[in-house]
Every structure is written in C-alpha cells, then in structure tokens.
C-alpha cells in the first residue's frame, strides 16, 4: 500500500494513504491521487514509499529474524516465493520446520530510493548467481536396436538419400 505526505507550501499537513490525504485536505480520493500524479498549485502530495507488513521467521521453533519479506529473504537466503508460501494458510496446515508469522498491527514504511519513479535495477554483482555443476563423464555411443517396423520405415524414408 502506497504512503504519501501532503504539504501546503512548506507546511506539513498529513502522512498516510490517499484516503487519509484526501480526508486531511478535504478533497475526494481521485483529486488527491491527481495531486500526487500531476501536482497542484496550492498542495504538494509526494509518494514517500509503501507500507509493508512485518513478519517473524522461525526455524525449528527458534526465532531467526523479523522484518519485511524482502529483509527476511536477505538475512535467511530464502526465496520470496517460499516466504509467500510460508505465510499462506496451506503452509500453516502442514507441520513445517520453517514458519512465518504475521505480526498484527506491525508495518514498516519502505521508502522510495532517491526519489526515483522505480527502484534501481540490481547489477550482476548484486544478484545471486546460480551454481553450475559439471560432471566430466565421457559419452558412450548408443546402439540403435529398432523394431522391424521402425527399421523398414527408416529405410523407406531415407532410401533416396544415398
């Protein structure tokens, strides 16, 4: 959920979702959203980030860390897909060694990076590289043992090639 700040000139007015900003400014939600997207002569509405849920991560009933899913993924090395599954009802029904518990009422505002419209694309150095395993085994030639039908079909198909 996106979080915004509203200013009148240099005076701070409110922080919150578009609904909160609209209520503080006394305008409709669509007008507040238009102020954030296109600007306004009197008010300034700036997107400051997104509100993310805080989770607690447990492994074998021992507390490991807490934070947003992205923070937990960085600390534990788990994939976001796995963490999303661990937060689902299906994962709670199974007796798993890994547990992700949603902390009710705990959220964090994840700020946008240096005012950019989109987050920066990570470079190759920042991405986790897959480990490639090669096995050096010579390839043995296979012997072709077709059935009578397959051999006749093969000979009929390729008889003019020779």
**pLDDT of the residue at 138:** 81
Q: What's the whole-number mean pLDDT along residues 67-86?
A: 89
Band of residue 150 on the pLDDT scale cut at 50, 70, 90: very high
Band of residue 51 on the pLDDT scale cut at 50, 70, 90: confident
**HSE (side-chain half, CA atoms, 13 Å) at 129:** 7
SS (HEC) of 112-144: CCCCCCCCCCCCCCCCCCCCCCCCCCCCCCCCC
Q: What's the whole-number mean pLDDT along residues 56-73?
A: 88
- The model's pLDDT over 95-143, given as tens digits with 9 standing for 90+, comes to 788 888 888 777 777 776 555 555 555 555 544 555 566 667 787 888 8
**pLDDT of the residue at 113:** 58
Beta bridge partners of 87: none
**0.85 cut: is pTM over it?**
no
The secondary element (H helix, E strand) that includes residue 100 is strand 98-111
**pLDDT of the residue at 39:** 83
- The model's pLDDT over 8-21, given as tens digits with 9 standing for 90+, comes to 888 888 888 889 98
Burial (CB count <10 Å: 0-12, 13-18, 19+), residue 137: exposed
Burial (CB count <10 Å: 0-12, 13-18, 19+), residue 35: buried
Q: What's the whole-number mean pLDDT along residues 81-103?
A: 85
The larger pLDDT score, comparing residue 30 to residue 130, is at: 30
Asked whether residue 161 carries a pLDDT value surpassing 90, the answer given is no
**pLDDT of the residue at 126:** 45
How far is it, in rounded angstroms, from Cα 27 to Cα 130? 51
Asked if residues 70 and 82 have their Cβ atoms less than 8 Å apart, the reply is no
Q: What's the whole-number mean pLDDT along residues 16-36?
A: 89
Q: Residue 127 CA to chain centroid, in angstroms? A: 14
């Amino acid at each position: 959920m996106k979080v915004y700040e509203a200013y009148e000139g240099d005076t701070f007015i409110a922080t919150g979702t578009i609904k909160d900003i609209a209520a503080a400014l006394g305008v409709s939600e669509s007008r507040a959203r238009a102020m954030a997207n296109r600007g306004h002569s009197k008010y300034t509405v700036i997107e400051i980030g997104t509100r993310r849920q805080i989770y607690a991560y447990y492994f074998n009933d021992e507390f490991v860390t807490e934070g947003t899913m992205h923070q937990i993924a960085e600390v534990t090395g788990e994939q976001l897909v796995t963490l999303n599954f661990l937060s689902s009802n299906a994962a709670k029904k199974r007796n798993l060694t890994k547990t992700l518990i949603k902390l009710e009422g705990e959220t964090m505002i994840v700020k946008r990076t240096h005012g950019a419209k989109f987050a920066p694309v990570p470079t190759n150095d920042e991405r986790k590289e897959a480990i490639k395993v090669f096995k050096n085994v010579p390839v043995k030639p296979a012997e072709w043992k077709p059935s009578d039908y397959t051999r006749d079909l093969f000979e009929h198909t390729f008889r003019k090639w020779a």
